[in-house]
Structure 1
Amino acid sequence: MGAIVNVEGTVTVKEKDMVAYVSGLISGQVSSKDMNLTYEIENDTTLYLHEETSYWNESDLLDILNMILPYIKEGELDYVDEDHSHLKYLYNTEDNKWEVLTGKLVYAKPDKTDDMGKDEDKTLTVEDLLYFTGGNTKVEIIGVELIGNDHYLWKGTVDDYNFTFPPYGHQKVEHVTVMNGTNLLKLYINISPFSTKEQIEIENIKKYFHFCAFPDDGADKLYRRYGKKTEEYVQKHSLEDLDDLIAETREVE
């Protein structure tokens, strides 16, 4: 498979003392299969699993998931590829097996609601929205912090937007404004604190800058901009390019 595939989720073990043992089982399988699967112990009973690769093999992943069945009581992993194909691996407690659920991405307006209130899973991302927007349309991506301050994160036209490494493309659009009498589209996204999983990924990215001068907040800013594509972006760009991008980000803000 040539497209980038992303799989992530968690498994919960039956007893606290099983976490280290289960992670050891996974480690052995990952090494023998040469997989790009990472695993982190989140707490006494939960493991976070993540795989991002261009050479994904479903049978290898299922081998690992089936191997740890005797030790888990909950499990759920989501799969998505560059074509927005979706799968979910869900542990069925009654049958003691993994169910593979398929689905498709359904686009909806950011304010789409159902009987239970706002459905966040159907909120468009920046990349999703711009993909369907005319190329000459001017765009401003605006970050809204929890304290209420707004600042511009990216400006340009849709034709200027890099869909290979989409700036803030993974961020969910909270509000859209079309300026009257202009072709200016304003997209507002929330700038909230990084989650524990995101902090782990940011720390992993910092390994590329251990032996060079790079801003202390550089990895954070890159991750805010590119999300899970940050490591690939860093690998394909020079330190000078990254420094210029961080400087440009500060100027925009």
Structure 2
Amino acid sequence: MIKGLSGDVTVNIIASIIASLVLLAAGFLWGKYKERRKYGRNLEDYDFYPFTINRENFPEFNLKDFRLGMHYFLKNNDYTAARQLIFIGEQNNVRAQLEPSEQKVYARLYDKYDGKKIADDTTEYLENYVRIVRLIGKSFPNSGIEILLHNLADPSHSLIVLENNVTGRHLRDGTTNLLIDLKKRQLQHEDKLNYELEIGSRKFKCTTIPILRKDFGIVGAICINIDANYLTDEVMQSKERIEAWFKNF
């Protein structure tokens, strides 16, 4: 009798544990489902992700797929993927590539998902980098070492910080191929390190460091440019100039 009762209790306990685990799993899956419906998926999960791999095995912006995504997210809500699409569109100056009728569709998409906030959030995200670049630049004045910061959410006016100007650039200058170049290197797991740049007759040794933001990829870049002509033609000409150069550090 006691053994039978003990066996029944054991069975009931096991059944209760199993039922609790089932309910817990169901609750977890339901929560994930609700979260996914609220925030959506990554744009890369969709067939119309607007980048294709070209013959050189590099990513290339695909306007046709961008249009498909634009129309899809007007009819179907996906907060995450739609904002990623808008961010990519702004990076690739998509307004200038769309026909007038498609520009109106894009404007509706931009308003629906609060596109301006995407740019504002990126600017806010880069604020700490702004401070870092300024402080580093001011630490090495008159050294022939330029440091600058690009906001790649706005490639047409990307240059937002410029310290120790040696390349002749200006704030709010744009960049043409920097974003694509960084994407290529990211795909190849390659750094943009210690490369040469020529502007007129002057040579520079350069390093570019991409800034990544979760869900949006490359949103900015820090560039360090060393004026090789200044170092060889001026600094290295005398012991006094070399000493003065090191005093700046």
For the criterion TM > 0.5, the same-fold answer is no
Greater share of strand: 1
| Structure exhibiting the larger radius of gyration computed from Cα positions | 2
